[in-house]
Structure 1
Amino acid sequence: MTRQRRRWLTVLLWMLIAPFAAWAAGRVFGLESGYPTVQLIAFTPYAAVISLVPLALAVLTKRIWAAVAAAGVAVAFAVCVLPRWIADTGGGVPAGPTLRVMTVNMLYGQADPDQIVRLVRDGDVDLLAVQEYTEAGRAALRAAGLEEALPDAVAYPRADAGGSAVYSRFPLAAKGYRHLAGGFMQAHASVQVPGAAEVYVESAHPCAPMGRASDACWLADLAEQPAATPGGPVNVLMGDFNSTLDHKAFRRVVAKGYDDAADIAGAGLSTSWPYDDRWYFPSVTLDHVLADKRVAVRKVVVHRVAGSDHRAVYAELVLPKAGG
């Protein structure tokens, strides 16, 4: 190979590394701001895998400095992404009452109610959070027998995507809703699980960052998510957050005293959206169960639900004992 060709190959290699370096820096330092960086940062796990290509090329072509730079980029991605794939088993799971929860976005109430009820029964679900909850969706869930399995509810159906509900096996108290700046509602309530401290549950659904016009409401809605209360009820915040652990705004929510259950269980790379046959781009993890740090996580599983573009997220949580 001539010297000129070698030089051009080196230039091309650095040009391949540069965008991944910029992406990794943006993720590490939380530099996403507005369209399109907010949208792109959700695909960081895919960028992490593809970033290994320029590293391999640098090694194979013996470009030492390019290989060092590419390796640094790959390490930065690995630090951000790989922990979600590794279960946090430190100390094991303490003894305490088990709370089984699930969250599902019904896509304007169109999700298959029979499948949702089957998942509730098969998983022995105690609390179900529902987003994009409509009158038609409520009627369909009732007809499918949901209220037989989860007899109490705090429900605010709407004709658009802003409806919200929480269904419970145990009696609910202090029922209400949070009306977000973006227009969506978040149903919430308190529930007393036998043998456990009081639990506060909320069905989360900030608006989606679909472009320049909606990025502001997305940030405002995430900022409005309630903080955990270490001296009060055990908080469980679950739903369609329209954000991933790669978004700084969502990490700020988690930092309010929560753990992401899937992250703790080693299932943080299980994707939840889009799962509608009309969509073709790579899926990301928008649906989450956040539990405050007094709660242990036994497992997290995602389930595809016919009629919805979101997967349901199921989690088995271990609550602190009452008075503990």
Structure 2
Amino acid sequence: MGDVQQLYDQVDTDQDLYGDWQREDSLRARPLFTVLWLITLAVIGIMVLRMTPNGLDGKKYIPVVVAFVPWMACVSAVTLVCALIGRRRALAVVCTLCLLTQLCWHWGYIWTSDERTHELPSVSSLTGGSADRYARVMTLNTKNGLADAQQIVRTVREEHVEVLTLQEANTGLLQRLAAAGLGGVLPYSVVATPTGHDNGGVNVLYTAAKPVSTTGDLITIEASSVPSACVRMASRTVCFGSVHPFSPRPRNQGLWNSGLDSIAKLQSNARLFVLMGDFNSTWDHASFRFLLGDRFVDAGEQNGSWFHMTYPANITLFGGRVKVPSLVEIDHIVHDRSVVVGDLETVTISGSDHKALLGTLDVEG
């Protein structure tokens, strides 16, 4: 009996030690999960800002914070894994709800309901001149005209680009593009009407086909004027525009909202539009979604081919040892719903702090 009692005593001792170990482990983990709860609350706060309505989403630093909403899914996913490992049920439930909400918001980047976007011809099969229903298009913010002109022209040639829109261009860049031979590929151009609201330079548009009509100021806007060229493609006439509203910096926030609202007025215009450029806004901004309305769509958001982050580009830290990745998608191809755009890709152009965004459109999709 003595041996049996010793065995029971040993078991009790082991259980006490195991219980003490569990309590100590729980105490050690408590600060970690406190931090994870704080992170989750911050994510929820950012998600609430994402729901700020048009007109109010330009206040203070709201537009800057909201631009990073897509990355919150990564934060929620990592926190969810930690919560599951640590058996924190409440935290796991909250993280799951956050993650599901974020996936719903960005479902168009993951899966497209319009399979026509995957049926477009490859770039190599496109023919020049825009006479058929297809065209390869490209947009680039040139960072005050500092972008590499030769690389722009080389990309236009290699990608069979038939419509090119540039933002923040200046006389020096236009001269370098001409010297690099852009006129031999895209002989027709429209330069925006200069105004006192030009932000970083003027907008420019180049086409391979001769436009039916052009204008240097498509709309009244408190930003760089929007040049436009209407081009005949197959049986339709498409009106292309190069846009660049102000960025949502604190000193520009009123101009940021009004610029996007001005572009939104094109919803009532009868022409068929493809608008390209640096919109200085993302799908998560209410002002950008208001711009789209029921008429326009963002090629990136409806393509089902993931995000195409365009900003920043060519930025490094610590003397060039660390390259900053592109974090936000603020350059867009916005078009009427009857137009199909697919085959999206980004290209890094030296000298610019934006990546070029390219796509293939079908005007009779």
Whether the 8 Å CA contact 1:162–1:183 is kept in 2: the answer is no
CA positional deviation for 1:231:
8.3
Helix, strand or coil at the partner of 2:236: coil
CA distance in structure 1 between the aligned counterparts of 2:181 and 2:354, rounded to whole angstroms: 22
Distance 1:282 1:141, change over 3 A: closer
CA distance in structure 2 between the aligned counterparts of 1:97 and 1:315, rounded to whole angstroms: 14
1:285 aligns with 2:329: yes
Helix, strand or coil at the partner of 2:145: coil
* 1:123-134 superposed matches below 5 A: 123-134=159-170
Residue 154 of structure 1: which of 182, 190, 199 is its match? 190
1:121 aligns with 2:144: no
Distance 1:91 1:129, change over 3 A: closer
1:106 aligns with 2:135: no
CA distance in structure 2 between the aligned counterparts of 1:216 and 1:52, rounded to whole angstroms: 35
The alignment yields a C-alpha RMSD, in angstroms, of: 2.7
Distance 1:295 1:60, change over 3 A: same
Residue 220 of structure 1: which of 234, 258, 264 is its match? 258
Count the aligned residue pairs.
319
CA positional deviation for 1:204:
0.8
Partner letter of residue 74 of structure 1? L
Partner letter of residue 156 of structure 2? V
1:196 aligns with 2:235: yes
CA positional deviation for 1:33:
4.4
Residue 78 of structure 2: which of 53, 63, 68 is its match? 53
Normalising to structure 1: TM-score of the pair?
0.88
Distance 1:320 1:14, change over 3 A: same
Query: Which residue matches 1:302?
Result: 346
1:243 aligns with 2:281: yes
Residue 42 of structure 2: which of 11, 15, 19 is its match? 19
Helix, strand or coil at the partner of 1:62: coil
Helix, strand or coil at the partner of 1:191: strand
CA distance in structure 2 between the aligned counterparts of 1:157 and 1:304, rounded to whole angstroms: 28
Helix, strand or coil at the partner of 2:161: coil
Partner letter of residue 289 of structure 2? R
CA positional deviation for 1:185:
1.9
Normalising to structure 2: TM-score of the pair?
0.79
1:83 aligns with 2:108: yes
Partner letter of residue 42 of structure 2? P
CA positional deviation for 1:282:
5.2
1:139 aligns with 2:169: no
Whether the 8 Å CA contact 1:267–1:301 is kept in 2: the answer is no
Partner letter of residue 191 of structure 1? V
CA positional deviation for 1:208:
0.6
Distance 1:300 1:71, change over 3 A: same
Partner letter of residue 176 of structure 1? G
Helix, strand or coil at the partner of 1:294: coil
CA positional deviation for 1:91:
5.7
CA positional deviation for 1:77:
1.3
CA distance in structure 1 between the aligned counterparts of 2:289 and 2:42, rounded to whole angstroms: 23
Whether the 8 Å CA contact 1:24–1:76 is kept in 2: the answer is no
Helix, strand or coil at the partner of 2:273: strand
Whether the 8 Å CA contact 1:275–1:283 is kept in 2: the answer is no
Whether the 8 Å CA contact 1:273–1:311 is kept in 2: the answer is yes
1:208 aligns with 2:247: yes
CA positional deviation for 1:312:
0.8
Helix, strand or coil at the partner of 2:215: strand
Q: Which has the higher helix share?
A: 2
Helix, strand or coil at the partner of 1:283: coil
CA distance in structure 2 between the aligned counterparts of 1:310 and 1:282, rounded to whole angstroms: 8
Listed one character per residue, the Cα deviations across residues 88-117 of structure 1 (whole Å, up to 9, x for unaligned) are 444665897102211111111111111111
CA positional deviation for 1:179:
6.7
CA positional deviation for 1:229:
5.8
Helix, strand or coil at the partner of 2:300: helix
Listed one character per residue, the Cα deviations across residues 132-186 of structure 1 (whole Å, up to 9, x for unaligned) are 0100011011111111111111113869613011111111213221476543222
Whether the 8 Å CA contact 1:203–1:239 is kept in 2: the answer is yes
297-306 or 93-102: which moved more? 93-102
20-29 or 69-78: which moved more? 20-29
Whether the 8 Å CA contact 1:28–1:76 is kept in 2: the answer is no
CA distance in structure 2 between the aligned counterparts of 1:284 and 1:184, rounded to whole angstroms: 22
Helix, strand or coil at the partner of 1:55: helix
Distance 1:150 1:13, change over 3 A: closer
Partner letter of residue 54 of structure 1? T
Partner letter of residue 167 of structure 2? Q
Distance 1:110 1:157, change over 3 A: farther
